[in-house]
């Protein structure tokens, strides 16, 4: 059973690392599918919490979530296995295709530029889907909706530092939800 959990962790995070172009937020829909829908390792609320925590800690979201989910499911070995799963595709791709891609980047290749132009809108859609998914899990009442709107406006209108927005959100959470 333990070995099966480790294999599932590695394979799930390997797919997340392999099929999530754009990193970070673009990975969230696939992470949600694997972690919540397919395996039931976390609830939607727990997943939203992990994303929030991953945002406040150093490192990419996928690696932070892999470390947490892996630890939750199989301890330290699970953390290592899940984290190796998510970084392996990038490492393999960089090692095998790095030289080939560098030659295309140096030479303006219309096909490569076309591929990149096509990937940009796809990544934007994945980021928007992640925002909708996290919004469903995180905006649970009027207070959280108002907090999100105020923090969004602070960022847009005043270019507030994201660190201060996260800190303000945490403080407002402590004040509004003291339980």
Burial pattern 75-101, b for ≥16 Cβ within 10 A else e, equals eeebbbbbbbbbbebeeeeeeeeeeee
Predicted TM-score (pTM) of this structure: 0.61
Dihedral angle, C-alpha 17, 22, 25, 27, nearest 10 °:
-30
Domain presence at residue 147? no
Q: State how many domains the chain has.
A: 1
Read off the pLDDT of residues 32-67 as tens digits, 9 standing for 90 and up: 999 999 999 999 999 988 888 887 777 788 888 899
Q: Which two tokens stand for residue 46?
A: 């727990």
Contacts of 148 (CB under 8 A, 6+ apart): 135, 138, 139
Read off the pLDDT of residues 134-179 as tens digits, 9 standing for 90 and up: 888 888 899 999 999 999 999 999 999 988 998 899 899 999 988 7
Percentage of the chain with pLDDT > 70? 91
Q: Residue 59 sits in which domain range?
A: 2-107
Domain presence at residue 151? no
């Amino acid at each position: 059973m333990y070995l099966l959990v480790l294999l599932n962790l590695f394979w799930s995070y390997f797919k997340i690392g392999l099929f999530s172009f754009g990193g970070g937020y673009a990975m969230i829909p696939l992470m949600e599918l694997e972690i919540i829908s397919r395996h039931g390792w976390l609830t939607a609320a727990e997943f939203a919490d992990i994303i929030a925590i991953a945002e406040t800690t150093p490192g990419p979201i996928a690696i932070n979530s892999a470390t947490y989910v892996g630890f939750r499911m199989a301890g330290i070995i699970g953390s290592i296995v899940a984290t190796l799963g998510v970084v392996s595709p990038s490492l393999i791709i960089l090692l095998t295709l790095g030289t080939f891609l560098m030659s295309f980047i140096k030479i303006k290749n219309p096909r490569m530029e076309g591929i990149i132009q096509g990937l940009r809108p796809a990544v934007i859609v994945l980021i928007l889907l992640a925002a909708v998914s996290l919004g469903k899990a995180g905006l649970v009442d009027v207070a959280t909706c108002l907090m999100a709107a105020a923090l969004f406006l602070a960022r847009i209108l005043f270019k507030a530092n994201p660190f201060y927005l996260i800190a303000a959100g945490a403080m407002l959470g402590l004040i509004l939800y003291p339980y």
